[in-house]
Every structure is written in C-alpha cells, then in structure tokens.
Structure 1
Amino acid sequence: MVGPFPPFEPHGGGGPRIREIPLRLIVPNLITVLAICAGLSGIRLAFEGRVETAVVMVLLAAFLDAVDGRVARMLKASSRFGAQMDSLADIVNFGVAPVLVLYAYLLDQAGAIGWIAALLFTIACALRLARFNVMLDDNDRPAWQTDYFVGVPAPAGAALVMLPVYLGFLGISPEGPVAIAACIYTLGIAFLLISRLPVYSGKSSGSRVRREFVMPLMLVVVLYALLLASFTWETMAVSAILYLVFLVFSMRAYQRRAAREEAEDDVE
C-alpha cells in the first residue's frame, strides 16, 4: 500500500533501494531543518522586539548549519539530499536571518538605504555560497591554496554583520547616525564576502593536536565558553573585532606563502 508521503531517497534515487533508512542518515538532515527553524524564529522574534533572543536564535542557527556537514562526515551519513538541503539552508541562516535581525533592530531607521544595504548583503552571501560550491570542483587549484577561503566565509559573515547589534546591547544608542554607519558597515561585510581576500581556514592543521597543546587548548575553549556565558555580548563584540583584525594577518600570510611558492617554482 502506497503511503501519503514519498519514500526518502538520501542519494537522489541512485543505487539500490533499501526498505529502512538508518537513523544516522537522518540525523544531519534533522540538524539542518532545526537550523532553518531557529533562523526563521530569530527573524520573527526580532520584529516582535525580542532582539536579544532573536540574536541568540540566529547564532544558534548559524552554528547548527555550520556543523551539520561535519556531523554527516563523522557518522558517514553524507548524501546528495543532505548536500542540497544544506546549500538551501545556508542562504537562510547566513544570508537572510542575520541581516533581517539587524534591519529590525537598526537598519530600518536609515529608511531605504538600510533596506538596500540588507538586500545587498543577502545577495553577496548568495554569490559567496555559489562560488564556494563551484570551487569545490576546481581540481586545478594548487593544494596549498585549499588552506584558504576565497573571501570571508558565510558563517563568519553572518556573525560579523550583527556587530552593531552586539554594540547596541552594550549601550550604544541605535539612533539615526548610528544606523547610517551600520549601513556602511553592512556593505563592507558584503564586499568581504564576495572579495578575493584569502582567509585562512585552518584545514592544514588537520584533526590532530600535538600532545603538549592538548591541555592549553582545552583550557582556552573552556575559558571562551565561560566568557560567552557570563559576558555574552562583550565576548561576541570582541570576537568580531578580532576576526576583522585576523583578516589582515591572513592576507599577509597568504602573500608570503605565494611568494615562497613562486620562488620555489622558479628554482625548479
């Protein structure tokens, strides 16, 4: 008997059909769906005036959307269906939800300029995600360049664009001049998303940690978590500012590496 719902095909209908789907194949997709729910709920909360809760929901959505792929790889549950779901969720959680929360909180005070800034950020995020998906199939790219993102990654852009909200929670009044400054800042983050700026990804460090660094790393992670829990908006604001500073060092490291690789090629 045919049920009311079509059967779940994690690999797009290719390969042998199985009667029962392992739970591990469903978990990553469930995380993606929960991320979308969190992002959309954040938008609703922002327009209802509950901005702090809205920001928490959007950050939660960005976190879940950033880890669902890693969970899929850990569980060996990667699928074509999950990849498509993740790509569609990215634009909501990284491109739409954060900037609409910012718009409801501050950008709307700049009138049409604020809405234009919000639209351009969303479009830039969509272009950034499309370019990332295309570059996955680029086999001609030198191996060392895979240690760098091309442009600020979308999850980082989502957290960065809400910096004016973090600062607002710390006492900066969201008034007219601040709204105009926030529009300029939003356009700047949009430009960083679609730029060719090399951003170190940390992939070369791998999944292993040297023994002497295990305890300090655990301590740093715990300290950051405690600061985030105790001084949430101060920690988020400082983290965003430090990330912007990190971009400068990342670009310089890329340039030095490129010069070294070019010199080695000339010697050969």
Structure 2
Amino acid sequence: MSDLFPPFEPERVESRRARFKAIPFRLLAPNVVTLLALCLGLTAMRLIVEGKLETATICILIAAGLDGVDGRLARMLKGTSRFGAELDSLSDFVNFGVATGYVLWIFVLHDLKSFGWIIVLTLACAMALRLARFNVMIDDPDRPDWQKNFFVGMPAPAGAITAMLPVYLQMIGVPVQEYGAPFAGVYILFIAFLTISRIPCYAGKTLGTRVPRDKVLPIFVAVVIVAGLLFAYPFEVLTFVVVAYLALIPVSVARYRKLEREYAAPLPLSVEGGAPENPA
C-alpha cells in the first residue's frame, strides 16, 4: 500500500528542479580563470620538454598571477563556492607542485640523478601538504580575524615563483645550469620547507582596500615604472623581487608575533567596577 502512495519529499523535487536552473555567470568566471591557469601549468611541462625554458617559465609565472586573480574575482563577484575552492587547490598542486618541479628537473635537477628527483618529489608533496592544511584552516571558526592577514607558511604560488630563482639567475648570465646544480637543489629544498613550515608570511589581503587621494597618481606612476622594468628586464626584476620577498619574511614574523602578543594580552580593568575599559 505504501508503494501506491509514496511520501512527499520536497528535497528531491527541489534537487530535480535545480538541474534545469540557470547558473549565473559570476559563479563561472572565477572557475574559468582557474582552468586557464591549469592549462598554462600543463603547457609549461610540454614547453620545457621542447627546450623552451623561458616560455615555460613565463607560463608558470602567469599561472601564479591568475591564481591571485581568481580568488579576488570570486569575492568581488560574490561567486565563491566550495567547488571553486577545491578546483583552485587541485590547479595549484598541478601548477606549483607538479609543473614547477618538472620544469626544474629538466632545467638543472636531473644533473643530481636520483637526489634531484627526490627534490622534485619533496617539492610536489610539500605543495600538496601546504594546500591541504590551507583548506582545513579556512573552515576554522575560532581563527582570529587578524590572522587572516597572514599565511601559515609560504603560499603555493609564492613558493613556485621563489623556487624558480635558479632559472632567473641562468637567464641573467649566472651559469647555474653548468655548475650550480647542488646549490639549486639545496635552495629548492629550503623553499619546500618554507611552504610546509608554520612561519607566518604576510598575505596582503587588506592591502589596497582604501587608497588616499594624494597617493593615487604616485601609485599610477610607480605601476608604469615597474611594468616598464618588468618588460625590459624581466628576469632581473624577478630576481630582485624574490630576494626582497625572502628578506621580508623575518619582518612578517616580527609583525605576527607583535599582533599575537597584543591579542593575548588581557584587557585593562577599570579601577572602580573591575570591568574592561571601553576604548571608545
């Protein structure tokens, strides 16, 4: 008798209707950018096999730039989704773990034989672990807001860009490919360690949310100068950026420790009532 009169299940009816519901483009745009970055990372692997080291490096750099764009685009368009977050993590692993490691293997690490391949595996696994930890920390409801301005460990795109420093040095005339394989291997292991470490790195997510009016024109001029230098001397600029980024990590650590102490410090108590003073 129950087969003749099945119970009404509104969830199942709604799920059937959702299949035919149009999806807003704002939900698709960030995922399209992520897929473009994934295509660039995979193309870099083909280009390095064909001997096009410079073009392969540029593909990885553009993929890293697009990785910074898709998340901000999703937040700006209010198109964030769990699907997009998972796709972004998988794309990051391929681009900055697999493709970057493979480019470095063909470039210089193959000279170290099996030890060079162990370095490639270490870099790829470190990127996977770093991304897995990042996904878990996103869902932490007890994380203070000030900590959102810092990454725990070096982020995957920055790890790939800094790991490619031996390539930049080769492009500006340093004979890394001929004599620098051991130094490049140790350096790449160091970068892999930074990605899985708990060293705080400044995220800069709140950077540029508000710009004073008197700073607008100087910023425009600075952007033009940096863009001109990047097009005229790309690998020299990239080398400087990587060295400056690594040098600023201790500054980021000091800033994080200061904010951590301020957050952990007890609020001042009023003399009369014993309640926390109102800073307003």
TM score, norm. by length of structure 1:
0.88
Q: What do residues 28-52 of structure 1 show as CA deviations (whole Å, max 9, x unaligned)?
A: 2221111111111111111211100
- The residue type equivalent to 2:162 in the other structure is L
Q: Provide the secondary structure at the position in 2 that maps to 1:149.
A: strand
Distance 1:14 1:149 in 2: 40
1:185 — aligned with what? Answer: 187
Structure 2 distance, partners of 1:126, 1:162, is 18
Please say which of residues 72-81 and 135-144 is displaced more in the overlay: 72-81
* Cα distance change on mapping 1:218 and 1:161 into 2, 3 Å: same
CA 1:174/1:82 → structure 2, altered by over 3 Å: closer, same or farther? same
Where in structure 2 are the equivalents of 1:236-251 lying within 5 Å?
236-251=238-253
2:154 corresponding residue in structure 1 = 152
Q: CA deviation at 1:172?
A: 1.4
1:246-257 matches, cutoff 5 A: 246-257=248-259
Deviation at 1:220, TM superposition (A): 1.9
Q: Where does residue 272 of structure 2 map in the other structure?
A: none
The 10-residue stretch of structure 1 (138-147 or 122-131) with the greater mean CA deviation from structure 2: 138-147
Percent of aligned pairs with the same amino acid: 48
The correspondence of residues 1-268 of structure 1 with structure 2, limited to 5 A, is 16-175=18-177, 177-205=179-207, 207-265=209-267
Q: TM-score, normalised by structure 2?
A: 0.85
> Is the contact made by 2:105 and 2:120 (CA closer than 8 Å) also made in structure 1?
yes
Q: Is this contact kept in 2: 1:65–1:93, CA < 8 A? A: no
* CA distance, structure 2, for counterparts of residue 134 and residue 18 of structure 1: 32
The amino acid across from 1:81 in the alignment is: F
Cα displacement (A) at 1:115: 0.9
- Unaligned ranges ≥5, structure 2: 1-14, 270-275
Say which SS state the counterpart of residue 201 (structure 2) adopts.
Answer: strand
Q: Are the counterparts in 1 of residues 169 and 176 from structure 2 also a CA contact under 8 Å?
A: no
Question: Aligned AA for 2:77?
Answer: L
SS at match of 2:265: helix
How far apart, in 2, do the equivalents of 1:204 and 1:28 lie? 20
Name the aligned partner's letter for residue 167 of structure 2: V
How much has 1:259 moved relative to structure 2? 2.7
Whole-Å separation in 1 of the counterparts to 2:38 and 2:47: 14
CA contact 1:125–1:193 (8 Å) conserved in 2: yes
Offset, 1:176: 5.8
Query: Cα gap change, 1:14/1:168 in structure 2, threshold over 3 Å: closer, same or farther?
Result: farther
**Paired residue for 1:8?**
none
* Paired letter, 1:243: Y
1:66 counterpart SS class: helix
Cα pair distance change 1:89/1:15, threshold 3 Å: farther
Task: Measure how far apart 1:237 and its partner are.
Answer: 0.6
How far the C-alpha of 1:19 sits from its partner, in A, is 4.1
Assess if the C-alpha contact under 8 Å between 1:151 and 1:193 holds in 2.
Answer: yes
Larger Rg: 2
Q: Residue 135 of structure 2 aligns to which amino acid in structure 1?
A: N
Q: Superposition RMSD on alpha carbons, in Å?
A: 2.0
- Counterpart-to-counterpart distance in 2, 1:33 and 1:202: 24
What is the DSSP-based 3-state SS (H/G/I as helix, E as strand, rest coil) of the residue aligned with 2:187?
helix
Question: For structure 1, which segment, 184-193 or 27-36, has the greater mean C-alpha deviation from structure 2 after superposition?
Answer: 27-36
Deviates more, 1:174-183 or 1:135-144: 174-183
Query: Matched residue of 2:151: which SS?
Result: strand
User: Structure 1 residues 103, 266: closer, same or farther in 2, change over 3 A?
Assistant: farther
Moved more, 153-162 or 216-225: 216-225
Structure 1 runs (4+) greater than 6 angstroms displaced: none
1:157–1:193: 8 Å Cα contact kept in structure 2? yes
Q: Secondary structure at the match of 2:61?
A: helix
Q: Secondary structure at the match of 1:138?
A: coil
Q: Is the 8 A contact 2:34 2:66 kept in 1?
A: yes
| 8 Å contact kept, 2:37–2:63 | yes
